[in-house]
Copies of this chain bind each other. A is one copy, B any other.
Amino acid sequence: MSVCDKIKFNSDGLVPAIIQDKASGRVLMMAWMNRASLEATIATGKTHFWSRSRQKFWMKGESSGHIQTVKDIAFDCDGDTLLIQVEQIGAACHEGYRSCFFRSVTDGGAGDVITEPQLQTPGDIYGKK
């Protein structure tokens, strides 16, 4: 049985995938996979996702060059969430931060603060429009 058969995709055929930098332990991003993108991720060793906003299969880094090389794929006790260890080239976040989780809550929920440096601007990454 393929491990894909153990994963419980939701009613939209998707499963959330948490992406973690294997070297630093930093959680980089969370994105969604359908079965085809999980199979492509396993087969190629590069992360592939399903974009809910664009309704499109995509490989991380296909536009930015910020490819993720897969080191481990784990799944949780319920089989409905993936945790993928990667080697990340450059910024994982489309806003140019290493991690998408670059803002933390402050002041008992009244505010927030940026917790890491912006490595590049979106213009640097994707080209100015």
Q: Is the interface of A mostly helix, strand, loop or mixed?
A: mixed
Residue A2 CB within 8 A of the other chain: yes
Copies of this protein chain in the complex:
2
Q: Are A100 and B73 in contact (CB under 8 A)?
A: no
Residues of A76-111 at the interface with B, using a CB-CB cut-off of 8 Å, are 76-78, 81, 83, 93-95, 97, 100-105, 108-111
Contact sample, A vs B, 26 pairs, CB 8 Å cutoff: A2-B109, A16-B16, A18-B27, A18-B30, A20-B27, A25-B26, A29-B76, A42-B108, A42-B109, A43-B109, A72-B104, A72-B105, A74-B101, A74-B104, A74-B105, A74-B115, A75-B103, A75-B104, A76-B101, A77-B93, A77-B95, A77-B100, A78-B100, A81-B100, A81-B101, A83-B101
